[in-house]
Structure 1
Amino acid sequence: MSRIVKNMVLAALIAATPPSIAQARDSAAKAAPTTLATACKGLDGREGWSHPAPPAHIYGNTWYVGTCGIASILVTSDDGHVLIDSGPADAAPLVLANIRKLGFDPADVRWILTSHEHHDHAGSIAELQKATGAQIAAVASARQVLESGKPSADDPQSGLIEGFPPVHVARVLVDGDSVTLGRLALTVRETPAHSPGSASWTWQACDEAFTCRMIAYADSATTISADDYRFSDHPDRIARIRTGLSRIAQLPCDILVTPHPSASNLFDRLSGKAPLVNAQACAAYSQAAGSYFAKRLAEEAGEAAQ
């Protein structure tokens, strides 16, 4: 494509851009990623789960609309929008406010997706579904928890995690399925490292210069458990964790985003303090989690030998 033709096509696309998207770009420029980093400085873990954060532009049609400690990701299209994760039970008003600050209408959210079935990421789904009218899609291994609102007894973190308002899952997904809106397609991979129902999502995002990147919303990979839980007593769980970590490492991953933004240093990367694009980020993220899990198994073996 010649430069002249490319510029003509780009001009046509800009002219055809819905007002809401153009407004979102202007709003994102005002709510720059540096503002996000400043607003959330020093807030991590539970301290930041419900702390309000300004929205920020990640790349292309992808936006951060979550809190300081928990990600909620808006992926936009001319045919409607997709929201991934909701934050804890009190985060819904913050997420909705951020969507509106970007100039988007929450009523245009068509699908709500999940990373994993814990209250800090799924606690506001019911309220967001009511506010948007969106449908919910989730992998089969997360469905029972989402529809009951009760943590699974099979979850190593059972006893540590709270329940949340139940929701109806309109579409049950299997590994490799995609949720589509027009040309937008988000593909799910079951990555059961952090919880039995963990899922990671990938999609393509392109900027105004037609530079396209694969964004990977890789689920939490930490192998946390209740104090009395021993992974060594659950070989089937060990196998699923290793499967999950392997799949995370293989995700198409130009830009890594994680449910806990601090786990991928997202705010510093958005503000230019670290590279945003790194095709090896998912592999490194998986390797670090795998090293932590290996250490945990070694500690359990040492305890058993005493």
Structure 2
Amino acid sequence: MAAGWLSMAGQGLAAPGEFKDCTGRIEEVSSRRPISFADLAGRVGKVDYLLFGERHGVREQAVASSCVLSAMAKDDRPVTVVMEMLSRDDDAAIALYRKNHPETPAGLGAELKWWTRGWPAFDNWLPLVERAFSLRVPLRGGDLAEKDGRTGELTPNEKKAIRKRLGAAETAVRKSWTKAMMAAHCGLISDRQAALNADHQIRRDLSMAGAAEQARALKHGVLLQVGRGHGRKDRSLYHVLAQADASVLTVGAFAEGEKITDEERLLYDYLWIVGKAELADPCKLTGLTSKTGESISR
């Protein structure tokens, strides 16, 4: 293992439990006080699931989550990374690529034809992918497989699965996601379409939870790299993972200058302010207004 770390030294990566360049401001929400990354690192070492909710496309936030990964892997603890940006049917291609190119993480984006996926550039997530390669930890897709990626009416089996996994929280979770989907479209879609989109996000959450639970069954800690909307405590991913006898911590990563409401603060255990992003509200730029109370950037 040590030889692997040395061979990756040119990329500035570290051994388990070691981290550097962990910039930004971290706040413990419960106390509203700033903490150091060393403080946070001491708390994530034993957690079962760490939900790192990013603002998509902010590279500095992938650097931050790579620090979290190193902290979770301290003392050679087995850890798996599950990414929303990768799908469940990417796992075989990722494993084969890593077998053939164990020290070339930058090439994974081309291997997966990242430019066809609708996400910001792969380079935005490269710091986390590099750290996963360096530490030799599994990297798994969390999103729905392509064959399951449709948006439409839930099947009876899907309704039953959601009801079983969410229990009493189902109504509140669906309301939260529906509100977010309406906001994401500046209030221009119908209530029915917003509800269908919400169901799709719940299905995605259950897929990510399934990947994480498979890793935990192998006694791995799990770092879930997800969009901030998926990392919130009022959404389906958190509710599913927190139901079992598992410990779950949530980090909400915000770009510098982003507005954070008091309500939003309470949806995470920690806030990490790092990186820059375009903060203009597209709804305002088009002269439209979303009355949902939630920014479309989330």
Asked if these proteins are the same fold (TM beyond 0.5), I'd say no
Higher helix share: 2
TM-score (normalised: structure 1):
0.30
Higher relative contact order (CA 8 A, sep 6+): 2
